[in-house]
Structure 1
Amino acid sequence: MMLYEINQDALRYEMEHLGVYKLSVAIMLGKGKITPLKVLHVRTPAANIIKQEMLAAGGDCATPGTTITCAVPHVDILLLGNAKHYKTLVYKLKQMPYFGIPDIVADLETYLAALPKCTKLADGRLLHYDSVKVMGIINVTPDSFYAGSRKKSVDAVLEQAEQMLVEGAAILDIGGESTRPGSDPVTPEEERQRVLPAVAEIKKRFPESIVSVDTYRAQLAKEALECGGDIINDISAMTADDAMMDVVAEAKAPIILMHRRGTSKDMQQQCEYKNVVQEVTEYLLNRAALLQERQIGPDKIILDPGIGFAKNDEQNLRLMQNLNALTVNSYPVLMAASRKATIGNVLGLKQTLPPEERLEGTLAVTAAAVYAGASLIRVHDVKENVRLIRMLEAIRKV
């Protein structure tokens, strides 16, 4: 007689080798994993109903102490169940068209549907995320925080682009302004002179490549797309330039929406959060909703929690730990933490490690992001991250 634990990734394999009836495997897989789900701003009577229905289904629901007496109008709740529990809950709640319950049912049905994610480029090409994709960083700036990413000439950019594509980069991200904490902005013309030649030459040399342009300026985004750019990477999530939404809508180009507060100059003085994961998630989903109002769907929107932007080390780690809060939604999620200061602070014993010594920490973040369901990883070191992802995915899918 002996006992051992089965990893979630191996559960189907073990059932099949037990000889479980095939139709039963899918049913049992839904029972094999408890997935906590947080539901925000629930009307208190609805929270009490959901609590009882989850208990009846065999799961549970964590609620604040004020819920039972309806002392407050709305509460956040935490569902504790597996797929079977949630399907049962949806069935029961569909009989209750009051207290905002239909909206909760709609969210749960979207979660349970779990449709595959993809990004549709303006030229019609589709970027599928059956495997996590790597975005290689190419900075046409003299002052990016990691010297290894700086390229001073178009020839150097092309050399770096070719190397990254050979190493497995699915996207090349071109940036013409350093946005590290405390940095000053460059003029629009200076950014334009740095970025546009790089984008144009990359697309000329490597026409099948996918190029992302890291800018929050709508005019540059428009010109970069006209030069062959494919994706806009806006660290301001369209708040720095109101025209950005029009640009991507007219070009039918995907956009990356990142969370930050303030500007690069002052953002690290704006790190006050009650719950950083919840606040970042709500912010990004609200920004994405503005695009959806313009009939721009999830295949044109990518979300980025903004590691290192208006967050301290603990908050950055909390977002890395709870990336599922974003990946559970219908949008592809980008993790961009490559060689950032939090990694140096965590790994340094007496003082932070410099960017040149943060590769191993970056790889750890990449691994965590893969497990959390990220679709894209933005990194300086393409080869190392691609190899890590391939190996980790092979282990998980065997």
Structure 2
Amino acid sequence: MTINCKGTLVDLASPKVMGILNITPDSFFDGGKYKNETDILSQVEKMLLDGATFIDVGAYSSRPGAKHISEEEELQRIVPVINLLTQNFPEIIISVDTFRSRIAQETINAGAAIVNDISGGKMDDKMFTTVANLQVPYILMHMLGTPQNMQKNPVYKDVTKEIISFFAAQIHKLHQLKLNDIIIDVGFGFGKTNAHNFEILKNLSLFKSLDTPILAGISRKSMLYKTLDISAQEALNATTSANTIALLNGANILRVHDVKEAVEAVKIVNQIR
């Protein structure tokens, strides 16, 4: 199970870790933390040294109720960072967290290798044709609604079955466009209650029927810290526990704030496989 990232074949048979770099002022955990070049380079260097295979760069906050920003503002935030990272880390594999086809196009042109779309193609009808034309790995995430309204009242008859059906339909469209590398992300916390999130985590292995790599993005999310009545800052241990469950249930990529601990979880799980 490999994906082609700018000519580098990455084997996902052994799970990989994707480090999160939020360059937004209002992300739920690290918003506003990485504002200047020194802080950005220092954090990315740390994540790479700790064992991250991918760095996921996001310039649009997708936390519940997040402020909507224009395409121009997103572009102005993210392209200089892509340039900065590719200049300083020539071998880096950058994933761009965006639901906009123009941002996808511009950032891949600037040196990024993967498009990570929280909307699964639902918020920009040009996204599928764009990624198919670019022939880059595409992370297809499930979200009910938009970041502005997704947590108001998410309702499902059967959350696992409905998300699998969504993926099957979207994957079919992408296959018709001849896109090779598709990764699915169930979208923990994106239009789901806590009960939904834990049901999906328990049933994650069922998504292997789609025959695509699975990305799990659970890091420090409210499903963990609200369950334990703690803060996001205190949720590292809970994150490691949830990541371990995800790995045991078939996750191929862990998207995390804390790379070292995620890499250790992968190494431990690999010992019993």
Same fold (TM over 0.5): yes
| Structure 2 counterpart of 1:336 | 217
TM-score under structure 2 length normalisation? 0.97
Q: Percent identity?
A: 37
2:229 is equivalent to residue 362 of structure 1: no
**What value does the CA root-mean-square deviation take over the aligned residues?**
1.2
2:102 is equivalent to residue 219 of structure 1: yes
Matches of residues 1-398 of structure 1 in structure 2 within 5 Å? 117-121=1-5, 123-147=6-30, 150-297=33-180, 300-348=181-229, 353-394=230-271, 396-397=272-273
Aligned residues: 273
CA contact (8 A) 2:97 2:117 kept: yes
CA contact (8 A) 1:184 1:265 kept: yes
Considering Cα pairs closer than 8 Å and 6+ residues apart, tell me whether 1 or 2 has the greater RCO.
Answer: 2
CA distance in 2, matches of 1:313, 1:333: 20
CA distance in 1, matches of 2:67, 2:167: 25
Gaps of 5+ in 1: 1-116
CA contact (8 A) 1:262 1:270 kept: no
Q: Aligned partner of 1:345: which letter?
A: K
| Per-residue CA distance 1:265-321 (angstroms, 9 max, x = gap) | 111124110100110111012111100011223xx1000000000000000000111
| Per-residue CA distance 1:336-360 (angstroms, 9 max, x = gap) | 0100001011112xxxx11101111
Q: Aligned partner of 2:112: which letter?
A: G
CA distance in 2, matches of 1:361, 1:247: 37
The secondary structure found in structure 2 opposite 1:279 is helix
Gaps of 5+ in 2: none
CA contact (8 A) 1:138 1:174 kept: yes
The secondary structure found in structure 2 opposite 1:212 is strand
Question: What's the CA shift for 1:148?
Answer: 7.0
Q: Aligned partner of 1:151: which letter?
A: Y
Task: Flag the 1:139–1:250 CA change in 2: closer, same or farther, 3 A.
Answer: same
CA contact (8 A) 1:327 1:373 kept: yes
| Per-residue CA distance 1:201-234 (angstroms, 9 max, x = gap) | 1111111111000000111110000000000000
Structure of larger gyration radius: 1
| Per-residue CA distance 1:19-61 (angstroms, 9 max, x = gap) | xxxxxxxxxxxxxxxxxxxxxxxxxxxxxxxxxxxxxxxxxxx
Task: Write out the 4+ residue segments of structure 1 that deviate beyond 6 Å after TM superposition.
Answer: none
